[in-house]
Structure 1
């Protein structure tokens, strides 16, 4: 993660604070390619419920993942004019090229510079977000907030494997 400097000139971590299903989480700012306003998402048949669908971003089709469902903290919710889509650039193992993925969140709260002495190891238990998605915990305004691992959260290979598994389960029920 890239470090910045806080007001006193000490090393700091820049984060984007977002709301996901009324929970606040932090995303390292260097993992955010762009934040765009929520737009109509075109649903794709037979996609896992984690994948809302796709959007068009400057002529490119971008899959969009529902943060609440992916993190296990919210079922499909209605998004509104305050919702945003965070664009994350991932490297596809299969294609060996960059792939843009969107993450829809309820709200973007702010960008904060967190002093490194306010970054703590994640606990072994007690965080209701799956541990593979949490890098550390950060203290912001006396609240302790999970810092997300975007490479795990938006791992296209994992999402595709889960979709294929769910489709196989659906087909097996249909065939019986």
Structure 2
């Protein structure tokens, strides 16, 4: 998918076009227009002084792409790497225009779906262990709840950048106190 499209258009025509995936015990969905590609997990390079949810970086055809562990981002534990683990490369609107590629670590990809808008319930106000603004809605797929992510909130480039800067400043401050 070399051509960039407007992710807001993913729900046009009364359907939510998404890729579903497993993270821990839960089923999630992401609008398909954000997904550039899905690749096998083939080594992540750890980068010091990054927030814990940044598992590291990968080299994607000469481009450096950060990989986010959604499980940690959602306040859960570290994602255990398995043979079915993979990285979804998302193309997100950047701070200064253009797009930024970000990888997200997944336990497994399930399927591509079109979910009618009428089958999507609003984000619940309680009972979910993920921030409410990260959830676009809840759908039932094969008698199982799927959390449909609001990718622009869950992976907000400005929020992630601010967190990375805070961690870096804290590390710098800790180093200064030691000296």
- Scaled by the length of structure 2, the TM-score of the pair is 0.85
Note the alpha carbon deviations across 1:28-49, whole angstroms, 9 max, x for none.
1122111111120111111111
Which 5+ residue runs of structure 1 have no aligned equivalent?
Answer: 6-10
Question: Residues 160 and 3 from structure 1, CA distance in 2 versus in 1: closer, same or farther, beyond 3 angstroms?
Answer: closer
Deviation at 1:120, TM superposition (A): 1.0
C-alpha separation in 2, matches of 1:78 and 1:141: 25
C-alpha separation in 2, matches of 1:101 and 1:64: 6
- Scaled by the length of structure 1, the TM-score of the pair is 0.86
Deviation at 1:22, TM superposition (A): 2.1
What is the match of residue 58 of structure 1? 61
Deviation at 1:171, TM superposition (A): 4.0
Deviation at 1:52, TM superposition (A): 0.8
Question: Residues 164 and 4 from structure 1, CA distance in 2 versus in 1: closer, same or farther, beyond 3 angstroms?
Answer: closer
Note the alpha carbon deviations across 1:1-54, whole angstroms, 9 max, x for none.
42477xxxxx43222111112211111112211111112011111111110111
Look up the SS of the partner of 1:33 in the other structure: strand
Cα contact 1:18–1:110 (8 A) shared by 2: yes
Cα contact 1:38–1:80 (8 A) shared by 2: no
RMSD: 1.9
Which 5+ residue runs of structure 2 have no aligned equivalent?
Answer: 1-8
What is the match of residue 145 of structure 1? 146
C-alpha separation in 1, matches of 2:23 and 2:75: 10
What is the match of residue 122 of structure 1? 123
Larger fraction in helix: 2
C-alpha separation in 2, matches of 1:168 and 1:20: 31
Q: How many residues align?
A: 169
